Amino acid sequence: MRSRRARTSLSLILFVLPAFALYLAFLAIPMIQGSYFSFTDWNGLNKTYGFVGISNFIEAIRDDTHFRTSILFTAKYVVVAVVLQNAVALLLALLIESRTRAKGFFRTIFFMPNMLSVIISTFMWVFVFSKVIPALSSYGALKFLNLSWLGDPTVSFWTIVIVSLWGGVGTLMLIYMAAIQGIPQHLKEAAIIDGAQPFHMLRYITLPLIVHALTICIFLTLNGSFKIYDLVYALTGGGPGRGTQVITMNILEEAYQGNLRFGYASAKAIILFLIIFVITMIQISVMKNREVEA
């Protein structure tokens, strides 16, 4: 009996070991090294470097206006993206689940953008915003489209939001659909017999019973929105100027694009990690309490 348990334990360890090794090599060890270098003036090339204490963190928070601006822009994007992506995904899930036919077709259509590479799909959208929409705006009825979609910081923000919605709601929609399908049918039937209207069904039946899906989707969108890079880089490059520069772009610019301040960039990365960690812990705590209440 013991030998059988030992073999089972060994097989489980062997299955987990490759993933654990990859986690150590690409996440845990770099995180520890980055935490150490954040207290140094290392430039990423020299073998020698000096210990500077918390001066990198002080400079980033107190003196680096570009970093503060990128934090504010990212925070604005996170709020808008989290609300809109989850709202649109939930709405699509409710609409598709309310249909009796062609559910598979609509699931496929709305999930298809997730099957494309972010860079490839974003370059497609660059063509749309720089060529297609200006051509359409030449028609009288569509002159309201005559905007600087990629050249005006205010408009570019909403351009980024539109593209992120197009590519981000598919996965969330499937999660919400799975949660909606898990609601016991007898609860819906009882509510309908009692005369519940669609709004009351949504408020008192659907939403309370899919809080666990809301927790997962908000967690995913929070993390993804804070760490967004490739979409913004391919769409606007952080411009015009630094008008759409997110935190991740600011960090990589500090490390690679001429500055070569790897220690300072590591300090910024740690600040970003702490921001994400604190906000996600608060979000999970609040949502878990809602799950218990539901």
Does residue 20 fall inside a structural domain?
no
Does residue 24 fall inside a structural domain?
no
Residue type, 42: W
CATH code of 204's domain: 1.10.3720.10
Measured distance CA(95)–CA(45) in Å, rounded: 55
Query: Looking at the DSSP assignment, which residues form a beta bridge with residue 147?
Result: none
How buried is residue 13: exposed, middle or buried, by Cβ count under 10 Å (0-12/13-18/19+)? exposed
Does residue 277 fall inside a structural domain?
yes
Does residue 279 fall inside a structural domain?
yes
Does residue 12 fall inside a structural domain?
no
pLDDT at 291: 66
Q: C-alpha distances in angstroms, 194 versus 59, 143, 185, 199, 287?
A: 62, 50, 14, 14, 29
Provide the residue range defining the domain that includes 145.
Answer: 66-293
pLDDT at 242: 87
Residues written for the chain: 294
Does residue 37 fall inside a structural domain?
no
How many folded domains does the chain comprise?
Answer: 1
pLDDT at 292: 54
pLDDT band at residue 116 under the 50/70/90 scheme: confident
Measured distance CA(19)–CA(28) in Å, rounded: 12
Does residue 234 fall inside a structural domain?
yes
**Mean pLDDT, the chain, integer:** 88
Query: Looking at the DSSP assignment, which residues form a beta bridge with residue 48?
Result: none
Does residue 4 fall inside a structural domain?
no
pLDDT at 89: 94
pTM attached to this predicted model: 0.89
